[in-house]
């Protein structure tokens, strides 16, 4: 039977000692966040058709979502969420887990996406999709990963969350669990057994990925990357230098630039330049600020410099773009001199 894979030995020290303390501390920090099941109760805010699974499933919450192309602003929850992609017509799956939009799309049939607890998550898909969600309390996840001798489980989960990946065992377990629960009904033993098996498979995948990464290019740590991206997203009016960003990461400018490119896929300047263009489009479309004011806010010398940069990305002037989206500048401001 397909659930034979659940016969995985676990330590007798479950939820004792360090694991219990770790879990308690995490749960305390999580007290202000809604659970995944709380969000399902308000599922009128979730795009598409959402079907929650049965309640008594051994510490896991299940749901299936069928949706057209959409953007979903989920926000933080107290649960670790694992998503099994079933049918998808999208060619782009972008996530923002608190440090900017990044492409996470995995074209594999057994694609998995991980969303850590407390991640201020939102995502957008450009086509139809069907997914199965499994959620568990972060404290439970950490306790089980501690048993499996996974060092720094929070860092491992965030590593897994960096993009979608193919994991056939996790995908099969999650989809089969949904089918069994939706057809037969609540089964706490099955749900808790799957929770253990899925985390075991994710831990093995994470360890294998780390060994492979150690043989490839070095990257910024997750914490360093988050700090650097936060500094860039602040978009200081006086601009940024590579020396400032390297200082945030605690590295030399040369070493920082190399690791940033390995981590993000482009240089710090290209990332900053793309972000400024996205911010300019947002401000032009959603505010009545003059183009001069937008230029100053984004660190450009004047509206003319913004106009030249904007044309390079969009193929038109800021004024022409604003006219296309129908937003008029504030009366009396010389907004569109660069048009």
313 to 112, 161, 261: CA distances (angstroms): 33, 29, 21
Residue of 316, 277, 329 lying closest to 300 (CA atoms): 277
- Contacts of residue 66, Cβ cutoff 8 Å, sequence gap at least 6: 48, 49, 128, 129, 130
Residue 290 neighbours by CB distance under 10 Å: 18
Residues 154-179 have pLDDT tens digits of 889 998 998 999 999 999 999 999 99
Q: How confident is the model at residue 74 (pLDDT cuts 50, 70, 90)?
A: confident
Please check the confidence at residue 10 and state whether its pLDDT lies above 60.
no
Comparing 302 with 335, the larger pLDDT belongs to: 302
Structurally, what CATH architecture does the domain formed by 2-214 represent? Answer: Sandwich (2.60)
Lowest pLDDT segment from 54-58, 63-67, 239-243:
54-58
Q: Which tokens is 133 given?
A: 């969600």
Separation of alpha carbons 235 and 10, rounded Å: 48
Neighbour-count burial of 54, counting CB atoms closer than 10 A to its CB (0-12 exposed, 13-18 middle, 19+ buried): middle
- Contacts of residue 4, Cβ cutoff 8 Å, sequence gap at least 6: none
| Domain ranges (residues) in the chain | 2-214, 222-325
Separation of alpha carbons 331 and 304, rounded Å: 20
* Beta strands, E only, the chain: 49-52, 60-67, 70-75, 79-88, 93-96, 102-103, 111-115, 121-125, 129-137, 165-166
Q: Which tokens is 61 given?
A: 């919450």
Mean pLDDT of 228-232: 92
The conformation of residue 35, written as its DSSP 8-state character, comes to P
Please check the confidence at residue 135 and state whether its pLDDT lies above 90.
yes
Please check the confidence at residue 332 and state whether its pLDDT lies above 60.
no
Could you tell me the fold of the domain covering 222-325?
Arc Repressor Mutant, subunit A (1.10.10)
Residues 303-312 have pLDDT tens digits of 999 999 999 8
Residue of 150, 132, 128 lying closest to 141 (CA atoms): 150
- Which pLDDT score, from 0 to 100, does residue 31 have? 56
Backbone angles phi, psi at 83, to 5 degrees: -115, 125
Separation of alpha carbons 291 and 318, rounded Å: 7
Q: Strand 121-125: give its sheet, edge to edge.
A: 70-75, 121-125, 93-96, 102-103
Q: Which tokens is 229 given?
A: 């991206």
Separation of alpha carbons 266 and 284, rounded Å: 26
Instruction: Please tell me whether residue 312 adopts helix, strand or coil conformation.
Output: helix
Backbone angles phi, psi at 102, to 5 degrees: -140, 145
User: What integer best gives the mean pLDDT of the chain?
Assistant: 83
Separation of alpha carbons 123 and 131, rounded Å: 13
pTM score, whole prediction: 0.62
């Amino acid at each position: 039977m397909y659930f034979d894979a659940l016969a995985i030995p676990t330590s007798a020290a479950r939820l004792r000692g360090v694991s219990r303390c770790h879990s308690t501390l995490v749960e305390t920090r999580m007290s202000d966040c809604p659970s995944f099941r709380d969000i399902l109760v308000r599922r009128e805010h979730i795009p598409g058709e959402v079907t929650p699974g049965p309640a008594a499933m051994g510490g896991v919450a299940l749901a299936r979502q069928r949706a057209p192309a959409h953007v979903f602003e989920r926000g933080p929850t107290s649960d670790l969420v694992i998503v099994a992609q079933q049918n998808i017509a999208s060619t782009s799956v972008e996530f923002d887990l608190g440090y900017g939009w990044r492409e996470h799309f995995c074209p594999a049939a057994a694609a998995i996406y991980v969303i850590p607890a407390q991640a201020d998550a939102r995502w957008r898909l450009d086509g139809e999709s069907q997914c199965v969600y499994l959620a568990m309390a972060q404290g439970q996840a950490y306790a089980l990963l501690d048993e499996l001798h996974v060092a720094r489980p929070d860092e491992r989960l965030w590593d897994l969350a960096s993009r979608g990946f193919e994991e056939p065992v996790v995908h099969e377990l999650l989809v089969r669990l949904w089918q069994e629960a939706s057809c037969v009904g609540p089964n706490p033993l099955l749900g808790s057994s799957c929770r253990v098996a899925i985390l075991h498979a994710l831990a093995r995948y994470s360890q294998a990925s780390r060994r492979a990464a150690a043989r490839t290019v070095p990257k910024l740590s997750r914490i360093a990357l988050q700090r650097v991206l936060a500094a860039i997203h602040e978009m200081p009016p006086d601009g940024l230098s590579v020396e400032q960003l390297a200082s945030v990461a605690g590295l030399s400018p040369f070493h920082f630039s190399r690791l940033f490119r390995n981590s993000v896929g482009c240089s710090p300047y290209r990332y900053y330049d793309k972000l400024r263009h996205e911010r300019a489009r947002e401000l032009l479309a959603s505010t009545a600020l003059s183009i001069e004011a937008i230029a100053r806010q984004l660190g450009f010398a004047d509206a003319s410099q913004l106009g030249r940069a904007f044309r390079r990305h969009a193929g038109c002037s800021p004024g022409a773009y604003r006219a296309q989206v129908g937003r008029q500048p504030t009366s009396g401001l010389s907004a569109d001199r660069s048009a």
